[in-house]
Structures are given as C-alpha cells and as structure tokens.
Amino acid sequence: MTATFDWAQAFSLEGKRALVTGGAAGIGQAIALALAASGADVAFTTHSRPGDETSAAIAAHGRKAKDVHADLGTLDAAGAEALVEKLEAEFGGIDILVNNAGIIRRADLAVHSEEDWRAVLSTNLDSVWYLSQAASRRMQTRKHGRIINIASLLSFQGGIRVPGYTASKHAVAGLTKALANELAPHGVTVNSIAPGYIATDNTTALRADPDRSRQILERIPAGRWGEASDIAGTAVFLASPAANYVTGAVLNVDGGWLAR
C-alpha cells in the first residue's frame, strides 16, 4: 500500500519562497506570476528592464514580491552568495530557484566574437552554477528545495549560427543531472525545462524572417509558436509536491517539435 498523499495540496506552493532570474519579461515573468498564483512569494532578478509590472502582478495575487537588480553576466561565486544571503535575511530564504535568465548571440562561426561567446556562457551557464551552489547550501540544511533550470531545444540539437547558446544549453542539461544526483539524498530536486520555439525577445529575429518562421512552424505539430505561459505550468508542477519524485529530468515543452 502506498503512502497517503494530499492531492488537494498537490500543486499548492503556499508558504514557499521563490527566486526567478530574468523575471521582468518573457518566460521568466510568466513563471514568476504562475508561482505567485499558486501561493508562493516571489523574488526575481532584473537587469536592463524595470520590474514594476512583474511586482504589481505578483502583488495582485496577494503574494510578496521583491525585485533584485543583478547583472548575471558578471556574477561570480561571491556575488551569488551575497545575493542569496540577502534574500535569506530579507525574504526569508529560497525554497524554489528558477534559473531562467539567458541571452543569445547569432553569428557565423568564422566571425563569432570571443566577447559574444563569453557573454553567453557567463549568463546562461555560469550564473546557473553559482546560484545553484549558493541556494542549495541552504536547501540542504532545510532538507527541501527545488531547482528548475531553463534549458532549450538546443540542449538536444545543434541549431544554426548560435554555438555559444548551444554549448551553454547542452551544459545546463548536463549540470541539471549532475546536481540532481548529488542533491536528491538531501530532499532537493533539480530539473530542467526545455522550451520549444516561444514568442519572446530571443526569437524575434527568427519570427521576423519569413522563410525561417515558415520552416519552424511547418515542423511544429501544434502548428504555432509557443507562449511564455506554456512554460509556466511545467515550472509550477516541478516546484510543487506533485513532483516530489521527479529529479534529473529535462522536460521538453515544444508543441511536439522533438517528436517530429
């Protein structure tokens, strides 16, 4: 006989506190709002965009919001430790870490600059490592935590003219599995979501190219570009008690792209 599970609370995040990186717009904002709607207080990082809209929407759900300005492209171990420690003191801690912030730089291999390569790897991979390390120290002490990384279809495929992005997202998938193995005995799960082609700033160039947009849509069984909200439900699931036994997974949310 299996242990009794409270299905009425299976997707509730009541009393939890989350940190979402890159929460001012796009997928990060959608995840932040979904977590708040499910009961969590939500801190989120911003850099070039103001976070007023996200803060107001979180507050409208009756939850506490905290906007943390941070340049994740220059974040180091000490900076991540300081950021997490600040949230421990001012926000009560972090139960759920969503490493969402990311950038993409497109260029042919022959002319792809070292500056762009370093910028992408620093933001998309290094910040994930530093924040996961800092947050998981506290999560292990509390014997509970959720780390959710935003991977990509390019965690599985090569893409075109985006070597830094592809390298970073392959690495995020691998890091997810490595951290999951180490943290599972301490009550901390680590998973990734691999979005398909989502209508965000990162895909503006693709959507503006008639030929590439047509080619992409022809391959997606769902027949449409995804919305940021399509990713948010998966994040709530992975953060919730319903996903207690899910760790080390890279879940593709892609309208069927990889199944084609």
Q: How far is CA 201 from the centre of its chain?
A: 15
How far is CA 162 from each of CA 52, 108, 184, 222, rounded to the nearest angstrom? 32, 8, 33, 25
Q: What is the DSSP letter of 153?
A: G
Q: What is the mean pLDDT of the chain?
A: 96
CA distances from 72 to 23, 62, 216, 246 (A): 12, 28, 30, 28
Please tell me the predicted confidence (pLDDT) of residue 40.
98
pLDDT at 3: 65
Instruction: Please report whether residue 170 resides in a domain.
Output: yes
Judged against a pLDDT cut of 80, whether residue 51 lies above it is answered with yes
Question: What does the pLDDT look like over 145-194, one tens digit per residue?
Answer: 999 999 999 999 999 999 999 999 999 999 999 999 999 999 999 999 99
188 in any annotated domain: yes
Closest CA to 202 of 238, 234, 159, 235: 159
Q: Is residue 195 part of a domain?
A: yes
Other Cβ atoms within 10 Å of 223 Cβ, number? 9
Structural domain includes residue 157: yes
In a domain, 259, yes or no: no
Whether the per-residue pLDDT at 53 is higher than 60: the answer is yes
Digit-coded pLDDT (tens) for 75-104 = 999 999 999 999 999 999 999 999 999 999
pLDDT-derived band of residue 229, with 50, 70 and 90 as boundaries? very high
Residue 149's H or E segment, with its range, is strand 145-150
Find the catalytic residue in 130, 165, 197, 245. 165
Tell me the backbone φ, ψ of residue 252, rounded to 5 degrees: -85, 130
Count of domains forming the chain: 1
Would you say residue 1 has pLDDT above 60? no
d(CA 259, CA 222) in angstroms, rounded, equals 11
- On whether residue 113 sits in a domain, the answer given is yes
- Return the minimum-mean-pLDDT range out of 33-37, 189-193, 200-204: 200-204
For position 74, which CATH number holds?
3.40.50.720
* 5, pLDDT greater than 90: no
Q: Is the pLDDT of residue 202 over 90?
A: no
Residue 124 domain-assigned (yes or no): yes
Asked whether residue 66 carries a pLDDT value surpassing 70, the answer given is yes
| 171 domain-assigned | yes
Q: Which residues, in sequence order, are CB contacts of 140 under 8 Å at separation 6+?
A: 183, 186, 187, 188
- The pLDDT > 90 percentage for the chain reads 94
Q: Give the pLDDT of residue 104.
A: 94
pLDDT confidence bin for 4, thresholds 50/70/90: confident
**Hunting for tokens 């005995």 — which residue is that?**
185
165 counts as catalytic? yes
Tell me the β-bridge partners of 69: 46
Has residue 36 got a pLDDT over 80?
Answer: yes
Q: Which two tokens stand for residue 209?
A: 């190219």
Cα separation values, 239 from 22, 110, 148, 217, Å: 18, 41, 8, 30
Task: Please report the pLDDT score of residue 205 as a whole number.
Answer: 86
Question: Domain limits at 212?
Answer: 8-253
Q: What is the mean pLDDT of the segment spanning 19-42?
A: 98
Q: According to DSSP H, which parts of 61-162 are helical?
A: 77-91, 114-121, 127-142
